[in-house]
Every structure is written in C-alpha cells, then in structure tokens.
Structure 1
C-alpha cells in the first residue's frame, strides 16, 4: 500500500514521458533520464487497514495489488484545485501549470 501511494505521488508530481519530435521515440526511456521521487520527496506514510479478515480466503488475507495507486493522482489534482482554485488536467502537475 505504501508503494502504491508513493507511485501515485510520483505519477502526479514527477513522471512524464518525453518523446523526440523528430523520431517519435521515447526520449527518457531509461531510469537515468526518467524523473522519479526519492525518499526526501515523499512524506512519512502511515497505512491503516479497516475491517476484519476476508472470510472468502483460507487465511483471511485481502488482496490489495495497486489499490493504493488508483485515484491518488486525481486526489492530488483536486487538492491543488482546492488550494489555489486552478484545475490541472494533465500530469505531471508542474510549477508552470500552476502559474499560467
């Protein structure tokens, strides 16, 4: 869940696929060229699960997968809107988008 949350923050604030206009190829196709968050970019995240064990599984486990990622970028976009009154409709959310 923490990893999915960090991924959602990354999607909203950092990740962008840059393409070369001349070739159409991805210009930042390696981790060396692709901006991703580091520890200092993400606040401390506390995960709390509610409810009890899942009675439909033998050990009561609940599958979470990437559920921490779903909707997080939209939630950050809404937080930006409520903070400054500007609706951002593309990712990543950048300073340039906030100023124009």
Structure 2
C-alpha cells in the first residue's frame, strides 16, 4: 500500500471555477486523501483476526459468524 513517503512532490493549485459546494472561504475539505486506505486496512485486520474475508461495507458481526 503506498504511503505519503512513496509519493513525489505535490503542489496544490487553485482553479477559478464557480462551485456551490464550497465553504465560506471558498475551499473544500481534503480529508479524503489521508483516509483512502483505511477501509482496506480494517478489512485486512478483520481477515487476519477472524480468517473471514469481508468484501462489502459496513463490516458487521453477522458477516463473521
């Protein structure tokens, strides 16, 4: 799984475009970038702990029984 250390230099640019989904400062959140691999990591942890591979979310106890 790639990590931040595996990615080269990244430059953020602002593109002038009308967008109704931005906040009062005119920007959107970038939190998605940091959590891309979380679902896969949790699913792999569940597999390592239980031996059951779950391929759909949300992971529920009923899927592991």
Query: When the two structures are superposed, what TM-score results if normalisation uses the length of structure 2?
Result: 0.51
Per the alignment, in what secondary structure is the counterpart of residue 83 of structure 1?
helix
Any stretches of 5+ residues in structure 2 without a counterpart? 13-29
Runs of 4 or more consecutive aligned structure 1 residues displaced over 3 Å after TM superposition: none
Q: Distance in 1 between matches of 2:35 and 2:58?
A: 15
Number of equivalenced pairs = 42
Per the alignment, in what secondary structure is the counterpart of residue 68 of structure 1?
helix
Bigger helix share:
2
2:34 alignment counterpart: 68
Q: Which has the higher contact order (CA 8 A, sep 6+)?
A: 1
Instruction: Note the alpha carbon deviations across 1:2-31, whole angstroms, 9 max, x for none.
Output: xxxxxxxxxxxxxxxxxxxxxxxxxxxxxx
Report the alpha carbon displacement of residue 80 of structure 1 after superposing the two structures with TM: 0.3
Any stretches of 5+ residues in structure 1 without a counterpart? 1-48, 58-64
State the Cα RMSD in Å.
Answer: 2.7
